[in-house]
Amino acid sequence: MNKLFIKLLILLLITSYKANSQTIVPVDNWMDYLESMATDTENQQQAETLFTELSYLTEHPFNINLVTAEDLQRLPFLTDKQIEELCNYREKYGQFVSLYELKQLVTFDFTTIGLILPFVYIEDQKDNQFNGKKRKEYGKSEIHFRYDQGFQQKKGYMNYPDSVLEASPNKKYRGEPYYHSLRYSYTRGSHIQLGVLGEKDAGEPFLTNGRKGYDYYSAHLLIKEIGVLKSLAIGDYKVSFGQGLVISNDFSPSRSSQVLQTKRRTNGFRRHFSTNETDFFRGVASTIALNKVDLSFFYSQRKLDATADSMLITSFKTDGLHRLPRENDKKRTVSTHTAGGNIRYATAPFSVGFTVVGYYFGDKRIEPEQKPYNVFAFRGNSAMNMSVDYQLKIKKVTFYGETALSQNGALATLHGLQLSPASYISWLVSHRYYDKRYQAFYGNAFGQNSSVQNEQGVYFGMQLFPEASWRLSMYADFFSFPWLKYGVDTPSSGKEYMAEAVYTPRNKLSFSIRYQQKETESTQINRRQRLRLQTIYAPSSTVTLRTTLNGTLYSNSPEESMGWMISQSLGFKSSSFPFQLDGYLSYFDTDDYYSRITSYEKNLLYSFSMPSYYGKGLRLALSFKAEIVKKLSFSAKIGWAHYYDRELIGSDLEEISGKNKMDLNTLICWKF
């Protein structure tokens, strides 16, 4: 009776809306979330991998009445508390009848609802059953063909006499001036995923220089949840255990408006279906579930790009580009063998895991050129790491952490405490200590450095909901680097702050203001301040307007530089036929590269870019997606940038003569 009463009450509360609607506001807010996560990262390839994963999930959303907590953990913007409340609500009150019921969840503010909407749906109960029999799961296939082309000729594609190229072979790219990729995927329910991917970057040969095919190939088969077999990955896959002190291919948690999202979730093995050519493993991996214990093992053998001779490896190349002869000479020159495993015991309130990973570089040794800042870098041809991680939940308190050792006996540790005394407030404090001697080739954890080494820090985060229309987020990160860093010839320290307020007076309107400051101090003080004002307005269920003002102030005493950008985007998604249109216009004015503005603009499926703009200019972009026939769609985006302050755009072989730069992206998708 209580469940029936609550259901009727919810239906009464939402009678002013279309109860069968699957969207509240047609905004891809998750792209803004990813922008805030990726702005400060040094690894754009990992950001691209996360974008690919989220793009796939928007095309294959979860049935909110069937989705598991483990699947929801694939959405990085959801907190553990939000996932727990959603599952408990469903268990207590029965299945969702409308996505508007998400507004009844205390921890789900308007921003969170906007983030999750593209990833969930409610299935018509009539479609979910056939005469009382369980619906048969059929396999689904997809083919995506992407082609990108720039209109202006870049310096790297100019024609030179053979005599010039013989003397200077790296004056010209080896391949054609376009990008394209082809990917095929097959899924059968939630148990089988298979995929094949081929890609060439612009400048890499496809039909020239004796090459007939793509520069990069990837393939995978992932089987999940069949008896005691939790997962089996064959081919290319990703690994993540603990907090990333030993191994993680995930996008590193960044300091963003999601201030409580610094904790990694142990994801085990997942497929690699991205054009990221670096952060993955190739081989076999499996997890066996025995009651409350998971046993995971993996082995990988693949070749990496590196500067190496017959004996020594001096540096690794991670951008995946093979456009020039000197880049091609570094292609897959080092063979790596990696093996490891994880044993995990987990219950609802408590989990503990033990991880071991070893790696071997064959007949070559890593010997980077000796510099003061890399005195403690790894040298040798094999190494091992091990760690213990844990998580403990006691009512409204969560403890988590990981402690790891490298082969040389150095320590790295990260611990966090999250407290939610009431539904409207949450705190987080996290401490990290990464010894300057700690070495983990596959480590990727929360911090200011790109590597898990030479860093100490304390992070404080708080999220507050003073009332239903407001969300306040704040963090402070205090850190130090006891040893030298690249480009910094003394030990250094710093601090970073962020505060954001989001006001949503009603579903169709949202205002936000975000201020961020980062300061580092060594022989001098460097300070970068960022301010963002944004308004989102949805006058109807098909139209969304977004206005954003970004400002940057960079100071390197005694010099200062400033920059600002104002942008306007328009999104239209038809409710009567499969057509979507997005427009973007911005004006930017910055003093120099140091005050550059990074801005995300809507792109095609699986196509991620975070361009930075500096100087004075305009950026205009227009994209659309339309279904040509049933299950066959075509998407395209054309972008144009005009600079007022220069006659040359770009540098080195990417240089373009003139004030304008125009590019075209296209994508054909066939589902069958």
DSSP labels, 550-563: EEEEEEETTEEEEE
| 345 in any annotated domain | no
- At residue 10, does pLDDT exceed 50? no
- At residue 601, does pLDDT exceed 90? no
- At residue 176, does pLDDT exceed 50? yes
Q: Which has the minimum average pLDDT: 10-14, 48-52, 341-345, 624-628? A: 10-14
CA dist., res. 516 & res. 518, Å (int): 7
CA dihedral sign of residues 463, 464, 468, 470: negative
Q: Which has the minimum average pLDDT: 37-51, 70-84, 111-125? A: 37-51
Q: Which has the minimum average pLDDT: 45-59, 394-408, 505-519, 590-604? A: 45-59
CA dist., res. 329 & res. 347, Å (int): 50
In the numeric block, which tokens belong to residue 197?
A: 């991917």
| 574 in any annotated domain | yes
Helix, strand and coil content of the chain, in percent to the nearest 5, comes to: 15, 50, 35
pLDDT digits (tens, 9 = 90+) for 618-659: 999 999 999 999 899 999 999 999 999 999 999 999 999 999
558: preceding bond cis by omega (within 30 degrees) = yes
3-state secondary structure of 236: strand
Q: Which has the minimum average pLDDT: 202-216, 246-260, 545-559? A: 246-260
| 348 in any annotated domain | no
Q: Which has the minimum average pLDDT: 31-45, 271-285, 310-324, 569-583? A: 31-45
Question: Does residue 245 contact residue 263 with C-beta atoms inside 8 Å?
Answer: no
- At residue 133, does pLDDT exceed 90? no
3-state secondary structure of 86: helix
- At residue 37, does pLDDT exceed 90? no
Query: How does residue 253 score in pLDDT terms, banded at 50, 70 and 90?
Result: low
Question: Does residue 49 contact residue 249 with C-beta atoms inside 8 Å?
Answer: yes
Which of 100, 129, 158 terminates a domain? The answer is 129
341/59: higher pLDDT: 341
How do strand 293-304 and strand 268-271 relate by DSSP bridges?
unpaired
Query: How does residue 28 score in pLDDT terms, banded at 50, 70 and 90?
Result: low
Question: Does residue 142 contact residue 184 with C-beta atoms inside 8 Å?
Answer: yes
- At residue 116, does pLDDT exceed 90? no
Average pLDDT over residues 112-116: 82
| 626 in any annotated domain | yes
Question: Does residue 412 contact residue 448 with C-beta atoms inside 8 Å?
Answer: no
Structural domain span for residue 22: 1-129
Average pLDDT over residues 151-164: 93
Residue type at position 295: L
Tell me phi and psi for residue 164, to 5 degrees.
-70, -45
| 357 in any annotated domain | no
In the numeric block, which tokens belong to residue 520?
A: 């580092």
Which of 109, 129, 149 terminates a domain? The answer is 129
Which of 108, 129, 150 terminates a domain? The answer is 129
Average pLDDT over residues 197-220: 91
* Mean pLDDT rounded to a whole number for the chain: 88
Query: How does residue 251 score in pLDDT terms, banded at 50, 70 and 90?
Result: confident
pLDDT number for residue 58: 83
pLDDT number for residue 612: 86
- At residue 7, does pLDDT exceed 50? no
| 569 in any annotated domain | yes
How do strand 120-121 and strand 62-63 relate by DSSP bridges?
parallel
CA dist., res. 153 & res. 670, Å (int): 32
3-state secondary structure of 11: helix
- At residue 667, does pLDDT exceed 90? yes
pLDDT number for residue 252: 66
pLDDT digits (tens, 9 = 90+) for 406-428: 999 999 999 999 998 887 889 99
pLDDT number for residue 545: 93
413/510: higher pLDDT: 413
Query: How does residue 131 score in pLDDT terms, banded at 50, 70 and 90?
Result: very low
| 553 in any annotated domain | yes
3-state secondary structure of 582: strand
Query: How does residue 551 score in pLDDT terms, banded at 50, 70 and 90?
Result: very high
CA dist., res. 336 & res. 361, Å (int): 5
| 153 in any annotated domain | no
pLDDT number for residue 1: 45
DSSP string for residues in 497-512: EEEEEEEEEETTEEEE
CB count, 10 Å around CB of 163?
A: 8
CA dist., res. 135 & res. 358, Å (int): 45
Residue type at position 628: I
pLDDT number for residue 57: 85
Residue type at position 225: E
Strand positions, DSSP E, 49-97: 62-63
Which residue has 């980062």 as its token pair? 518
- At residue 220, does pLDDT exceed 90? yes
CA dist., res. 366 & res. 134, Å (int): 56
Q: Terminus-to-terminus CA distance in the chain, angstroms?
A: 44
Question: Does residue 649 contact residue 643 with C-beta atoms inside 8 Å?
Answer: yes
For 307-333, the three-class secondary structure string (H helix, E strand, C coil) is: EECCCEEEEECCCCCCCCHHHHCCCCC
CA dist., res. 165 & res. 556, Å (int): 42
Q: How many domains does the chain have?
A: 2
Q: Which has the minimum average pLDDT: 45-54, 108-117, 478-487? A: 45-54
